[in-house]
C-alpha cells in the first residue's frame, strides 16, 4: 500500500505568535512524500539528517482517524530550506498526511487534512501556535488569513506575483521563539492584521517584518534594502531567519544583487496558487 503527495512551501504576511491571527502565501518550492504501509504496527521515518517525529505522527493520526492498525515507512524530499521560516514543517506534514490518505485510498477535505498536520505539529512541539496559517497556505495555495486559536480560515485569494527569498546561513526553530517578547508587539500585529483583512498585503507584511525583527533581535537591513529598491511588500518570514519579498520581475534584479551582498542564498520563485496534490508527477 503505497501513497504519494506533494505540497508547496509558504512565506509570511503576518506571524501569528503575537495575536493568534496569521496570514501567509504559498510559494513555488515543494516537498514530496511517500508512505508505504505494512503490518508491522510501527511507523518509521526515513529522512537522513532530519528529525522524523513530526512526519511519523502525521501518519499515525491519519491511521487513527480511520481506526486502522497499520505500520509503515514514510519518506520526504524537499526543496525548502529547513528551520528558515519557509514552512518546511507545515509543508512536510501536509505532504505526508495526503500521501497516507493516498495509500489508504481515502479522501478528506483539504482544510481537514491540514488540521491533522497542525495537530501533529502541536503534539510534537514543532510550533508555538499550531501554524494553521502556514499549513493552509501550503495546502490550499494563494494567500490565506486565519484565526489560529479557533482554527478558522477567514479569507483566501489568489495573487500573481514574483517572490524573492533571502535565506541566511543559519537555522532558527519556531519552537525556540521568544514568545513573551513577541506577545508585547500585539497592538502592532493587530494593525497588520487589519491591513491584511483589507487586502493591503504588502503593507501588512512590511509592518510585520519590522515589528518581529525588533522583537526577536533579527536584522532589518534586508527589509530596508527592499524598500530602497522600491518594493513595498517585504518581511521576515515566520520567526526567521529567511526574508521574503513580493515584487515584479523587473524589480528583482536590484534586490537580488543587494541581498546577495549579505551572504546566504537568494531564491527566485513565484506565489503558488495551486493546492497540494495526492499522487505522483507533481
**pLDDT score of 171 more than 80:** no
**pLDDT score of 201 more than 80:** yes
| 36 or 281, which is more confident | 36
pLDDT in tens, 148-168: 999 999 999 999 999 999 999
Cell 521568544 -> residue: 178
Q: Give the global pTM.
A: 0.95
**pLDDT score of 115 more than 70:** yes
Domain positions in the chain = 1-282
pLDDT in tens, 65-78: 999 999 999 999 99
**Which segments within the chain are labelled E, that is strand?**
2-14, 21-38, 43-45, 71-78, 143-147, 152-157, 162-167, 233-236, 243-247, 265-270, 277-278
pLDDT at residue 126 in the model? 86
At residue 265 the predicted structure's pLDDT band, cuts being 50, 70 and 90, is very high
Strands 162-167 and 233-236: unpaired
Contacts of 150 (CB under 8 A, 6+ apart): none
- What is the percent of the chain where pLDDT is above 90? 87
| pLDDT, averaged across the chain | 94
**pLDDT score of 206 more than 70:** yes
pLDDT at residue 279 in the model? 92
User: Could you give the CA distance from residue 89 to residue 106 in angstroms, rounded to a whole number?
Assistant: 23
Residue 234: C-alpha distances to residues 85, 179, 213, 225, 242 (Å): 14, 22, 12, 10, 11
User: Could you give the CA distance from residue 236 to residue 226 in angstroms, rounded to a whole number?
Assistant: 12
pLDDT at residue 177 in the model? 60
**pLDDT score of 174 more than 60:** no
The CATH label, of 1.10.10.10, 3.10.20.30, 3.40.50.300, 3.30.230.120, for the domain at 1-282 is 3.30.230.120
**pLDDT score of 103 more than 80:** yes
pLDDT at residue 130 in the model? 75
Amino acid at each position: 500500500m503505497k501513497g504519494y503527495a506533494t505540497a508547496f512551501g509558504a512565506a509570511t504576511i503576518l506571524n501569528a505568535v503575537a495575536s493568534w491571527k496569521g496570514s501567509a502565501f504559498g510559494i513555488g518550492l515543494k516537498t514530496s512524500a511517500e508512505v508505504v504501509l505494512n503490518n508491522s504496527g510501527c511507523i518509521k521515518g526515513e529522512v537522513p539528517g532530519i528529525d522524523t517525529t513530526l512526519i511519523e505522527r502525521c501518519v499515525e493520526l491519519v491511521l487513527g482517524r480511520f481506526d486502522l492498525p497499520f505500520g509503515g515507512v514514510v519518506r520526504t524530499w524537499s526543496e525548502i530550506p529547513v528551520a528558515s521560516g519557509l514552512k518546511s514543517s507545515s509543508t512536510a506534514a501536509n505532504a505526508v498526511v495526503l500521501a497516507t490518505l493516498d495509500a489508504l485510498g481515502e479522501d478528506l477535505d483539504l482544510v481537514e487534512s491540514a488540521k491533522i498536520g497542525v495537530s501533529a505539529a502541536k503534539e510534537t512541539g514543532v510550533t508555538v501556535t499550531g501554524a494553521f496559517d502556514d499549513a493552509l497556505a501550503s495546502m490550499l495555495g494563494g494567500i490565506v488569513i486565519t484565526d489560529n486559536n479557533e482554527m478558522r480560515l477567514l479569507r483566501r485569494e489568489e495573487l500573481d506575483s514574483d517572490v524573492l527569498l533571502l535565506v541566511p546561513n543559519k537555522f532558527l526553530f519556531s519552537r525556540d521563539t521568544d514568545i513573551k517578547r513577541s506577545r508585547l508587539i500585539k497592538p502592532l500585529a493587530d494593525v497588520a492584521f487589519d491591513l491584511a483583512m483589507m487586502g493591503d498585503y504588502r503593507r501588512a507584511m512590511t509592518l510585520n517584518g519590522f515589528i518581529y525583527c525588533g522583537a526577536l533581535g533579527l536584522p532589518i537591513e534586508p527589509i530596508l534594502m527592499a524598500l530602497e529598491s522600491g518594493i513595498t511588500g517585504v518581511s521576515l518570514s515566520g520567526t526567521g531567519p529567511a526574508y521574503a519579498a513580493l515584487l515584479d520581475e523587473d524589480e528583482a534584479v536590484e534586490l537580488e544583487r543587494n541581498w546577495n551582498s549579505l551572504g546566504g542564498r537568494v531564491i527566485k520563485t513565484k506565489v503558488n496558487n495551486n493546492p497540494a496534490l495526492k499522487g505522483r508527477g507533481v
